[in-house]
Amino acid sequence: MLTKQLAAFVFLSASCLPCLGAEPEYAIVVSRATHDDASWQKVVAALNAKYRARVIVYDQLAASRKPLTKLFPRYACFVATSAEATRTFVAQVHQLTRRLDDDPYTDLQWGVLTGFDAANALEIAQHTEPLTVRRVAAGTEVALEKCQEGKWYCELNKNKLVRKPPGGIPREEVGPADTTQALVDTLNHEEPDLFVTSGHATERDWQIGFRYRNGQFRSRGGQLIGVDTREKEFPIQASNPKVYLPIGNCLMGHIDGPDAMALAWMNSAGVRQMIGYTVLTWYGYGGWGCLDYFVEQPGRYTFTEAFFANQHALVHRLETEFPQLARRNPPPGERTASNDGGGLLHDRDVVVFYGDPAWQATMAPGDLAWEQTLSENDGIFSLEIRPKLGTDTFQPVNTNGSQRGWRPIVHFLPFRVKDIQLISGQDLKPVVTDNFVLVPNPRECDPTKEYRIEFRAARVR
């Protein structure tokens, strides 16, 4: 739990405010020690140049809550050295950003921007070109029917490869028994926009095969290396910008020193945004659900939005089904219970989002199971959900992994609102907050039913 810190000092950089008196929608949150380091000042300056942000400098992280609450931006970027980006820090950021108002949900979209060193972090901060994910590669099953092109190597069955060519359909092929070099070559030469992994992992390696002997990816001083079953090494040097989803890997997001896998992905594999568990994973809701929102609803969400949609879904289920646990903040990785409530609580604060949260990476538009449209007229908002697949509309797209499917429908509002009054759609049990609407998954779809909610609200700014 975040504790009150005394004698904390917070600095708001007035020179970073945009012109015309408009409040910035982006905050840069950084420790005094990092802000005073000349090499990391360049990282802050690069972000400021992109967003004309408000810079919040803290001596103790808890002190940033008050200025964040006052500003209430859409994005907050926590710039941190690799030594600062601990699993405890990540949990504190989760908890802090749920406490800016009275509801239990995360109040803004945040990311921890770090890197192997300041130069690596600066490269991430300076990147501006949005990414459209067209080519996907994975070491586990993904829904290629939702992707323009891609391939995945099976972690469960030796020699199984599924490939989808551009404009084609996914087809199973025979792949190598040891997929290490194939995966390295994919990263080095085929320039995938999204890379997805699961299976056993530590802070130093990803074990490619889950149910059979295969090679590994290892990290060494910011360098990612493939090592096959004969101990032959294949360095990975992939500069094309990409996003990385280690949805089921233990510890891939835990930075415990310069040899951490997360740092190598950022430094030598071109990763600009990634998520990752900072602890051992056993439940899986916080990781696997990002596929439900990002890959399986192609084009609807940015990578950042998909992560936070899944966080909102997790908090909603925890609050609705296990309210007695929802206010607890156990130490990261502590297993309080083995049931769903314990799993949700375990996952809530231990999956990190690395990168600039406002940078946009989006799946190329594809087939969607439903349409969702928000309209507004004179302060009356209407969210309409139109089924496209008949009775199968709300069924899971893919069930590979853990805790898959049945995610609620989440729609982000284009601006913050207040004084919310629900007018219609109470039967759908929606949650309307200041910056998003959540509708529990109806599960059974009646194509003749109108799925629509209306609410009155005032724009904050």
Residues 6+ apart with CB under 8 A from 261: 201, 202, 203, 204, 205, 206, 217, 219, 224, 251, 252
Domains identified in the chain, total number: 2
51 touches 26 (CB < 8 A):
yes
> pTM for this structure?
0.94
Considering the domain architecture, whether residues 152 and 229 belong to the same structural domain is answered as yes
Phi/psi for 168 (5° steps) reads: -105, -165
304 touches 276 (CB < 8 A):
no
Considering the domain architecture, whether residues 206 and 339 belong to the same structural domain is answered as yes
Considering the domain architecture, whether residues 297 and 442 belong to the same structural domain is answered as no
Considering the domain architecture, whether residues 171 and 235 belong to the same structural domain is answered as yes
Q: How far apart are the first and last CA of the chain?
A: 32
Considering the domain architecture, whether residues 272 and 382 belong to the same structural domain is answered as no
- Cα separation, 134 vs 147, in Å, equals 7
| pLDDT 10s digits, 116-130 | 999 999 999 999 999
224 touches 259 (CB < 8 A):
no
Considering the domain architecture, whether residues 112 and 184 belong to the same structural domain is answered as yes
Considering the domain architecture, whether residues 149 and 274 belong to the same structural domain is answered as yes
Considering the domain architecture, whether residues 324 and 256 belong to the same structural domain is answered as yes
Tokens of 9: 């000092």
Chain length of the chain: 461
pLDDT in tens, the chain (461 residues): 333 232 233 333 333 333 323 578 999 999 999 999 999 999 999 999 999 999 999 999 999 999 999 999 999 999 999 999 999 999 999 999 999 999 999 999 999 999 999 999 999 999 999 999 999 999 999 999 999 999 999 999 999 999 999 999 999 999 999 999 999 999 999 999 999 999 999 999 999 999 999 999 999 999 999 999 999 999 999 999 999 999 999 999 999 999 999 999 999 999 999 999 999 999 999 999 999 999 999 999 999 999 999 999 999 999 999 999 999 999 999 999 889 999 999 999 999 999 999 999 999 999 999 999 999 999 999 999 999 999 999 999 999 999 999 999 999 999 999 999 999 999 999 999 999 999 999 999 999 999 999 999 999 97
pLDDT for residue 22: 59
| pLDDT 10s digits, 229-272 | 999 999 999 999 999 999 999 999 999 999 999 999 999 999 99
Considering the domain architecture, whether residues 252 and 286 belong to the same structural domain is answered as yes
- Residue 439: give its domain's CATH number: 2.60.40
Last residue of a domain, one of 342, 361, 380: 361
Considering the domain architecture, whether residues 306 and 411 belong to the same structural domain is answered as no
Last residue of a domain, one of 301, 331, 361: 361
Maximum distance among all Cα pairs of the chain, rounded to whole angstroms: 68
Last residue of a domain, one of 339, 361, 383: 361
Domain, as residue range, for 94: 1-361
pLDDT for residue 461: 72
Considering the domain architecture, whether residues 387 and 332 belong to the same structural domain is answered as no
Question: How many CA within 13 A on the CB side of residue 117?
Answer: 7
- Cα separation, 274 vs 185, in Å, equals 20
Considering the domain architecture, whether residues 325 and 308 belong to the same structural domain is answered as yes
- Cα separation, 279 vs 332, in Å, equals 7
